[in-house]
Every structure is written in C-alpha cells, then in structure tokens.
C-alpha cells in the first residue's frame, strides 16, 4: 500500500523570460502546466499506472512569481475513489539567492488512473502511516472543504 508521504513530490522551475507574461512574472498557464505535471506524478506513484487530469478544483493565484525567481511545486495525494486520485497542489515563489519562500498558488486536482487502452482502472488504497501523513491529508481535506 502507498502512503500519503510516498506520493509527496516537490519540484522546481526557474521562471525564465519565455515563462513570463507582459508584467515580468510567471504566466499563469505555465504555473498550471507545472502543477499538472507534478500532480500527475504524485497520482501515478499511488496508482502504479498512467494517470490523466480529470478536474481542476479551486485554483487560486494569490501572488505573482517574478521572472528570475523559482517556482516550487508541492504535490501529494490525499484521497482516492475507485479509479480517481485527489491531489493537493501548491506553488511557492522562492528566492534563488536566499531560499525565502512564500505561497503563491493553491489548488486541488483530480486524476483518473488509466490502462493501456486509456480506460479507467482501479487504484490502490492510500494509507496514513505517520503524523506527517495525517497532517498533510487533514490540511488538504480542510482546504478542499473551505472552497
């Protein structure tokens, strides 16, 4: 069985000029793309098979990520259905010089596990094996309910 911690992934992208909008910050579409890619990785760690995006629930951009800064994507699975995996995703702006970080984006994605014919396939159980797993899961559930 896979635990919440097993699905935890943190990835970084440096915001380059090609990633920026007219205001010198990361284009929202790029941030969503990065979140979708990392979220799928978390879902696949749980499902053990390809997962595709089914729904993006509650995507909020609270502040920009300036060009030259690092976009940190945090992702983990926190709940499952028969064929679906719910994944919490947050993006942060991180200074490459100091490591100072602040949250910029928050979202909840739903992925569906698929087989070789791209048909839905069942996912395994998600376990909560530690205090950290429980804190992550509870934080995601509370945030999802608040939306």
pLDDT for 110 equals: 98
pLDDT for 144 equals: 85
For the chain, 147 residues long, give each residue's pLDDT as a single digit of tens. 899 999 999 999 999 999 999 999 999 999 999 999 999 999 999 999 999 999 998 899 999 999 999 999 999 999 999 999 999 999 999 999 999 999 999 999 999 999 999 999 999 999 999 999 999 999 999 988 877
pLDDT for 125 equals: 93
Which whole-number Å values give the CA distances from 58 to 23, 52, 89, 140, in the listed order? 24, 18, 10, 12
pLDDT for 112 equals: 98
**Beta strands across the sheet bearing 101-113:** 9-14, 70-80, 84-94, 101-113, 51-61
Which pTM does this prediction carry?
A: 0.94
pLDDT for 79 equals: 97
pLDDT for 135 equals: 95
pLDDT for 84 equals: 98
Superfamily assignment of 2-146 in CATH? Answer: Hotdog Thioesterase (3.10.129.10)
pLDDT for 137 equals: 94
pLDDT for 65 equals: 98
User: Across-strand partners of 122?
Assistant: none
Hey, which bits of 95-142 come out as E strands? 101-113, 126-127
């Amino acid at each position: 069985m896979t635990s919440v911690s097993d699905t935890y992934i943190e990835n970084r992208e440096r915001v380059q000029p090609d990633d920026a909008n007219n205001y010198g910050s990361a284009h929202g579409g790029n941030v969503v793309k990065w979140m979708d890619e990392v979220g799928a990785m978390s879902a696949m760690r749980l499902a053990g098979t390809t997962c595709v995006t089914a729904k993006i629930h509650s995507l909020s951009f609270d502040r920009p990520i300036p060009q030259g800064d690092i976009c940190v994507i945090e992702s983990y699975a926190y709940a499952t259905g028969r064929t679906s995996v719910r994944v919490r995703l947050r993006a942060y702006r991180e200074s490459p010089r100091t490591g100072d970080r602040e949250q910029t984006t928050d979202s909840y994605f739903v992925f569906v596990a698929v087989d070789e014919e791209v048909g839905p396939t069942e996912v395994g159980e998600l376990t909560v094996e530690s205090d950290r797993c429980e804190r992550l899961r509870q934080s995601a559930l509370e945030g999802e309910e608040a939306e």
